[in-house]
Structure 1
Amino acid sequence: MDTIWPESLPKSKGPKYTLVADTIRKAIDNSLLEVGTKLPPVRELAYRLQITPGTVARAYTILTDEGLLHAEVGRGTFVAPPKSPILDDVWARQLHLQDDKYNANVSLFSPRLADVGQVTLIRECMQKVAQADPGLFLNYPTRDAYQPMRQAVVDWLSDLPLGALTHDDIVLTHGGQNGLCLVFQTILRGTKPVVLVEDLSYAGFRRAGELMRADVIGVKMDKWGVDPSAMEHVLRQTPAQAVCVSPEVQNPTGTHTPLERRKEIVEVARRFDLQIIEDDCYRMGDAREPSFRALAPERGWHVSSISKTLTPALRVGFAIAPRERSVDLRRSAEYGYFGLAQPLAELTRLLLSDPRTLQIAKDVRNRMGEYVRVAVNALGGFDLNWAPDVPFVWLNLPSGWRAAAFSRAAEREGIQLRSADEFALRDGRAPNAVRIAMNGHVSLERFEDAMQRLRRLLDNPPEQISV
């Protein structure tokens, strides 16, 4: 350090703190100060250069903001490693402000969460993982090694009425779809098992069933979800082993299943020894009713993830079996993929355990609620099913529009959305409706423009109905 400083600062027209900053900056550029070099304490350097401590502190702050230095509490100030220009550019902008102003296309296929601080927090957690014990990067996963992660999930789900729950009941999965497949692998038996789903339902149910060579049969639904009488009628004709439901937020209609209806479903399931698989991946707010695992502890399975609350990018989810089937579910995971990569599990533990995460999840929900309000303000005059904490709306199309034709017309306007046909079984019938997902990656202004374009389409149906 002594080699880069004169006995005193030369006279300069500019402020002294800029001269200090420039001197350090040049020394870093010329490799006179290498990465990790500790700079003198503020008061020590100020005394040496015969300037005030505030001048040195301001120079350090400037260089820290530029990323050339980094300060560690209790240790001092050090020369920071060089940053990637690409990464710097990403850090400099919020995700939802990265709009291409010359691209009118807006994807409303699937919900895209706004960045309200989770990106920065995930990066911080990644840095901690990178500095973890080497064994984290060298050893096979073990169940004991995952206990802290599983406990973090239990704490994360503490407000959810799931019945008796400990870390031994948690099975970590690669997102909700992997969790669903894992449950199917555990439950389904025989060469041609049968799974029941609602007439309109998440397409992942069907795909997971097909992977298990299962027949997937649709059951009539109403405004409260699956119809218990219709389910019983199907069960009298077909030896189904499981039914898939989404009672908190039904995908795609946004329907919520009240407690009385859930009890009726449980009663039918018990009479026919049917397992109940609850997909809870789309719930962003508090649960309004007890889960099926709480209502029917002997046959309720629960699948969820952090994809709609924090981020879908990590592909982290969890599956929970009835207590007496926990070992079976755990064995399916261990035989299938051993477990999550340990660095990913540790990253998730840090993320879920951080005291800021609950507030971030609330901020995500509130931010996505702003997009829902924009959609409702534009489309609320039509038959629209929505809730402020659900990241999509379900639009029953007005007379003159068919779902396929409206989807094509929207795509010509640069807007991609999902027709009801995508949620119906291959031999099922779909209503003239579409699902419109919220896209927090675009600005509210651009999203509102997309909603207005949809409204103009709805107000002007084609003269001839096309299919």
Structure 2
Amino acid sequence: MVTITDENVIEVEFGSDPRPKYVVLEGAVRAAIERGRLTPGTRLPPVRDLAWRVGVTPGTVARVYRSLTEEGVLEAAVGRGTFVAEPGPPAPIYQEFQALAVDATPHKTGGDNYAVNLLSPHLPSVGQTYLIRDLLAEVAQDPPSGLMHYPVHASERPAREAAAAFLQNPMLGPVEPDDIALTHGGQHGIALVLQAVLRGRRPVVLLEELAYPGFRRMAEMLRAEIATVAIDEQGIVPEAFEQAVRRSDVQILCTSPDVQNPTCAHMPEDRRRRIAAIAREADIQILEDDCYMMEKAKLPTYRLLAPERTWHVSSIAKTITPALRLGFALAPPERRLALQRAAEYNSFGLATPMSDLAAKLLVHSDLPALMEETRDVVRRYVEVAARVLEGHDLKWRPDVSFVWLNLPSGWRASAFCRAAEAAGIKIRAAEEYADRDANAPHAVRFAVNAGVSLASFEAAMIRLRDLLDHPPEGLGV
């Protein structure tokens, strides 16, 4: 404990704390201010004085003072010292600074030349963390569902009502709270649907020839056989779909009509209607994955076109945050109980504090503006990629947080990924989305990482452009 005056103290103890000392000390100063032990206007000790008192270097204390001053917690007066700042009005929820260093480390020359992980989308922090933190505090103070009971379907009712309001869209059809199973993210939703649908010793799951790997992994875990159907620039080819359901005893088609992952394809309405008609005639179910589009659907979903056989899965991972692992699975009206049973038999449901949080978050008045700001930031990153890589065969959309790139002659996808990683950029090859025995195209998918600065992201795109413009020479022997 360090005494500032007779009444003002900072409690700091490094002990076996594994964190850097500047982090521990900064937290101690912040805690002293929040608890009223350091009141506004209190003058803090000079850097060397505090360093001597707590047993750290002057540089450590200077770093803490500088960080808290930049944040507005402290204020520095030239020639007078460092003081606890007067509290200002709360900042608008949208003005949280974007984290510039998430998943980014210096690469080669430093500066804006960062190693950037583009394997999966990373959303910008535009204020949703403040909102979630405040709502978590509310839930912690007075958890409506309590903290001593197993979650049950009835206790999730407020969260399911909020989810129904959050998902409402004419293109999705009517959504009632009882249609919804709350899930631990989109992948869990896929698992629940397949468990509710698949029957027999070796059920067959039909996937697009390039598809989200989570479909395949979950089908394999459930001992299902995998069949594939051809796609083109508009998604599933109806004639190929018709042939596929005739060749094998398919029970369910897993598809993403609004944002085909990984190609960015968007299926037109007439083709959706043809696919729905074939599925109805063959009496197979449809799992519609809606986890990637950042805006609401503008064309009829399969749930609207074939509500009696469509299972719809969505989540907040690509629109708000992936950290909460909050998703939604919607069953056909006659199959609600099967989905509810799958959810309860898996985990009983969401943890009660999480369902309480969902009930508040999904209908919060600040959320639409936050989601709009998130879309706007992602759009700027995608547009940078499109500008820098102009002239190459790039598939992108302003409302989607990944890009599909068909490689020029001379590049194979695996070789390009290795070259990109050597240049400090992690991306995915097309074969990760294909069946193990398929001939995957020479293409790659990379995602928006808005956890790094736009300048760093642009520098990564420039390095990719340089690779694309200079394919390897010579023949491998």
**If the length of structure 1 is used for normalisation, what is the TM-score?**
0.81
Alpha-carbon distance, 1:30 to partner: 8.0
Indicate yes or no: 2:9 matched with 1:29.
yes
User: Residues 129 and 68 from structure 1, CA distance in 2 versus in 1: closer, same or farther, beyond 3 angstroms?
Assistant: farther
Kept in 1: contact 2:145–2:352 (CA 8 A): no
> What is the match of residue 96 of structure 1?
100
Indicate yes or no: 2:407 matched with 1:427.
no
Tell me the alpha carbon deviations over residues 105-145 of structure 1, each in whole angstroms, 9 at most, x when there is no partner: 11010110010111111111111111014852111112221
SS at match of 1:136: coil
RMSD (Å), alpha carbons: 2.9
Matches within 5 A, 1:118-267: 118-133=128-143, 136-159=146-169, 161-267=171-277
Structure-2 separation of matches of 1:27 and 1:96: 39
Structure-2 separation of matches of 1:298 and 1:100: 46
Structure-1 separation of matches of 2:474 and 2:74: 64
Alpha-carbon distance, 1:63 to partner: 7.5
Structure-2 separation of matches of 1:373 and 1:63: 36
Structure-1 separation of matches of 2:165 and 2:151: 22
Greater helix content: 1
Supply the AA of the counterpart residue of 2:174: A
SS at match of 1:236: helix
Tell me the alpha carbon deviations over residues 288-315 of structure 1, each in whole angstroms, 9 at most, x when there is no partner: 2111111001101100000000000111
Matches within 5 A, 1:218-367: 218-367=228-377
Indicate yes or no: 2:386 matched with 1:406.
no
SS at match of 2:100: helix
Structure-1 separation of matches of 2:73 and 2:6: 12
> What is the match of residue 402 of structure 2?
392
> What is the match of residue 53 of structure 2?
none
Structure-1 separation of matches of 2:100 and 2:347: 35
SS at match of 1:281: coil
Tell me the alpha carbon deviations over residues 418-459 of structure 1, each in whole angstroms, 9 at most, x when there is no partner: 000100011112101000111001000000000000000000
> What is the match of residue 383 of structure 2?
373
Alpha-carbon distance, 1:463 to partner: 1.1
Structure-2 separation of matches of 1:199 and 1:420: 11
1:461 corresponds to which of 446, 459, 471? 471
Kept in 1: contact 2:209–2:231 (CA 8 A): yes
Q: Give structure 1 stretches of 5+ with no counterpart.
A: 1-22, 41-61, 74-90
Farther-moved stretch of structure 1 (176-185 vs 285-294): 285-294
User: Residues 343 and 381 from structure 1, CA distance in 2 versus in 1: closer, same or farther, beyond 3 angstroms?
Assistant: same
User: Residues 35 and 243 from structure 1, CA distance in 2 versus in 1: closer, same or farther, beyond 3 angstroms?
Assistant: closer
Supply the AA of the counterpart residue of 1:299: R
Supply the AA of the counterpart residue of 2:7: A
User: Residues 328 and 400 from structure 1, CA distance in 2 versus in 1: closer, same or farther, beyond 3 angstroms?
Assistant: same
User: Residues 417 and 101 from structure 1, CA distance in 2 versus in 1: closer, same or farther, beyond 3 angstroms?
Assistant: closer
Alpha-carbon distance, 1:379 to partner: 0.6
Kept in 1: contact 2:256–2:288 (CA 8 A): yes
User: Residues 316 and 69 from structure 1, CA distance in 2 versus in 1: closer, same or farther, beyond 3 angstroms?
Assistant: farther
Supply the AA of the counterpart residue of 1:211: M
User: Residues 27 and 157 from structure 1, CA distance in 2 versus in 1: closer, same or farther, beyond 3 angstroms?
Assistant: same
Structure-2 separation of matches of 1:111 and 1:344: 23
Kept in 1: contact 2:145–2:356 (CA 8 A): no
Structure-2 separation of matches of 1:436 and 1:151: 35
Q: Name segments (4+ residues, structure 1) moved above 4 Å.
A: 23-26, 33-40, 62-73, 97-101
Structure-2 separation of matches of 1:338 and 1:67: 48
Kept in 1: contact 2:143–2:353 (CA 8 A): no
Structure-2 separation of matches of 1:34 and 1:444: 34
Alpha-carbon distance, 1:219 to partner: 0.5
> What is the match of residue 393 of structure 2?
383
Kept in 1: contact 2:106–2:115 (CA 8 A): no
Larger radius of gyration: 1
Tell me the alpha carbon deviations over residues 242-266 of structure 1, each in whole angstroms, 9 at most, x when there is no partner: 0011000000000000110000001
User: Residues 154 and 96 from structure 1, CA distance in 2 versus in 1: closer, same or farther, beyond 3 angstroms?
Assistant: farther
Number of residue-to-residue matches in the alignment: 406
Supply the AA of the counterpart residue of 2:407: L
Structure-1 separation of matches of 2:475 and 2:269: 40
User: Residues 288 and 38 from structure 1, CA distance in 2 versus in 1: closer, same or farther, beyond 3 angstroms?
Assistant: same
Tell me the alpha carbon deviations over residues 41-66 of structure 1, each in whole angstroms, 9 at most, x when there is no partner: xxxxxxxxxxxxxxxxxxxxx98999
Supply the AA of the counterpart residue of 1:27: E
Kept in 1: contact 2:430–2:444 (CA 8 A): yes
Structure-2 separation of matches of 1:128 and 1:218: 47
Structure-1 separation of matches of 2:419 and 2:36: 61
